[in-house]
Structure 1
């Protein structure tokens, strides 16, 4: 198979098109805990045998089928080359002289490789090293990875280490003719890595060939499947079918369990015995002014400008109330007249906001007014039309959440306009927990909560998350989005209102 045979995906621009996306489906149950791990594939083979190309073809040829399981089509492989150890000045000198053995198992930090892969398999975030082949050194920056249901780890020694093999759900060895591998290596190293032909040949004879004979080739006995590195279209089809079946076996629908008692939602009768106090929801004290704001926001005749203005006012109230849940410590200051005043200051090393798009954006301005220069990220979560399950389409998170050692000490304001079925809210909280954010340091800010929705399931799953709301309604009803049809069916929208 060559590059010309790979499928080309075209998207034609059309105004007001409803996107049919294939995001990450729930990987957790109604209790908020993960019920399945990512599917991990280990791909080994000789240098330049076609491991990366094989990985890309698995995705490209079957993009429509595998996209629904969220494979990163840009680069689906977690390459072992990223985990070369940091080199000493003496090792760097040998590397530039082509006298360093990069193909020996000792050259790769297998402990870090296994740790990062284990995090991804457990649906957690990880940061992998970035290695420069031109500088022969690991760079200071790292690459952030999170959210794929399928992980492909490839490298010449991917099947060599027992700790790595224990993490794979499928082990593949790519076999290729030695002459073809040498030709590919020469072309790659000269054009992409700034080497010369003489140096490539010397390194191949001294290190690459012996490493293949001693370590790489023998590891093929651990493979579940051995495929050709030249023509592998049949193998790709078989492997894709196997992956799809395994993922379907692991799938679970949680929406019916979150949005329980659909008949009660339609009639607007909340679950007997459920109260705001029982659900531990902090609600703004009702005042004539607050009721007036909500009346304006609910009025169908309210103009767009008035709606935005009063939504901003309400978001500021909510942000002020949420700030009271942050930790403060005593602080004494000297006033301009020389007196000592005893007060408080924030005792939170890192604070950020994360908006659940698009409705969460209406709360961002209020948070910025209350907390100056606060970093705000976003999560794009959309409902799948057929099943109603939430889909994670995109995550753009602040650095205080991307790095776990920082996330563990960070406070996060999670912003969403409403909590109805609570499906998006549950996914957003689960994402933060996967990054290491402590449950008790998550403060969920929302305009309105449906007492008859999935909030009770949400509170049971995440009891330590603080929930700040402007109002609580007891009615959750289903409406239809007029003017849009999906394969002959209307698209349901959850609506909160009295």
Structure 2
């Protein structure tokens, strides 16, 4: 299991944590969403142990792919110079709901719940300011949200599948807060106590504690292992009910293509498949058949094999390019004549390679589209269920940024060469 954590400075360590050993598919074979992510809201007083509970749930869910922890602390509003000065003087109330950008909070959480990409803001307590950088997150089976006010807002509460409140004695919370703020946020003891009495305790009494009535389960601050175990078992049961079970459907698609034996059979079979899964077959010209013959020849030397793989990939990408949107365009030639032709109106075009599958097609893509941005995905089967798991993603900027992704076109590269059988598949999808 790998982890990614915001580490801009010591004060941002808890803001956003991603732990995953692979993401289960959240779309079916037709691209329709299967289910939303399972969202857990964990509330409680400041320093009550919410973060500990969240991380303990992640630890006990080690066998569950894709768990994201999102902290309320990431969503403090931008502060102007006057507000920053008040914060350094311990005169700014960070515990009131008005200090949070609850609309952005709900939008980011809604995106994660619906298995969409989102950009989580990063807040620095040592600078008392939201930073320019963001933490990019994409897709999760489980989203854990923790913060003192995560159960206060009705819109946030509507997004939770399970609501947890961590109950803790006020004296213990104050002692923990002093230790944390002095060690991690560079504050002095007197300032911490003054802020606690002026802002933290009133907010707890007026907003945090009343929100406990919305909780499905209330956990003690200590010896809560049994309660956490109940929570994790409940999550496992709910995820089991949402199991995609895509393996059988994918095997059906494989069987549909596996019986193909000759080029003519390929064309007939793929024509039928196209009606169901949208396959367009590369024209089986003499040139293409000649490349197939060379690649299948066991006496083919390495240099020739690489050359003709690149040639085939170029032909395939050129065919895929014809599926891109074009429109009429008039230009003036070098001799002053007007020529009516075609040009693409795509704002952003990029490629994404399926690692260990689409590498042979990258060179062809770069030959057809000069300087195209190429990202990557790594998909591997789960050892126990054989269901596909997304293990890694490195997506181009035009896909990562929501406002650009809506109009972006992505060429997904994948290939399969099987010398033991009589068919060969090279896949290039425009999406």
Alignment TM class, shorter chain as reference: 0.7 to 0.9
Give ranges in structure 2 of 5+ residues lacking alignment.
Answer: 4-19, 419-423
Instruction: Give the Cα separation in 2 of the matches to 1:292 and 1:320.
Output: 18
1:188-337 alignment, distance < 5 Å: 188-260=180-252, 268=260, 275-276=270-271, 278-279=274-275, 281-328=279-326, 330=329, 332=331, 335=334
Instruction: Give the Cα separation in 2 of the matches to 1:29 and 1:338.
Output: 53
Q: Quote the offset at 1:273 in angstroms.
A: 8.1
Q: Does 1:448 align with 2:425?
A: yes
Contact 2:330–2:338 under 8 Å retained in 1: no
- 1:405 maps to 403
Q: Does 1:81 align with 2:73?
A: yes
Deviation beyond 6 Å, 4+ runs, structure 1:
261-266, 269-273, 337-342
Instruction: Give the Cα separation in 2 of the matches to 1:347 and 1:268.
Output: 38
- 1:389 maps to 387
Contact 1:130–1:142 under 8 Å retained in 2: yes
Contact 2:73–2:123 under 8 Å retained in 1: yes
Q: Quote the offset at 1:303 in angstroms.
A: 3.6
Comparing 310-319 and 101-110, the one that deviates more: 310-319
Q: Quote the offset at 1:369 in angstroms.
A: 1.8
Contact 1:331–1:345 under 8 Å retained in 2: no
Instruction: Give the Cα separation in 1 of the matches to 2:257 and 2:336.
Output: 61
Instruction: Give the Cα separation in 2 of the matches to 1:22 and 1:45.
Output: 29
Change (3 A) 1:419 1:29: farther
- 2:12 maps to none
Q: CA RMSD in A?
A: 3.1
Q: Does 1:98 align with 2:90?
A: yes
Change (3 A) 1:267 1:343: closer
Q: Quote the offset at 1:384 in angstroms.
A: 3.0
Comparing 171-180 and 261-270, the one that deviates more: 261-270
- 1:16 maps to none
Contact 1:361–1:415 under 8 Å retained in 2: yes
Aligned residue-pair number? 402
**TM-score if structure 1 supplies the norm length?**
0.73
Counterpart selection for 1:70 from 62, 66, 73: 66
Instruction: Give the Cα separation in 1 of the matches to 2:313 and 2:296.
Output: 15
- 2:55 maps to 56
Give ranges in structure 1 of 5+ residues lacking alignment.
Answer: 1-6, 10-20, 421-446, 456-464, 468-498
Q: Quote the offset at 1:349 in angstroms.
A: 1.2
Q: Quote the offset at 1:62 in angstroms.
A: 4.1
Instruction: Give the Cα separation in 1 of the matches to 2:316 and 2:266.
Output: 26
- 2:25 maps to 26
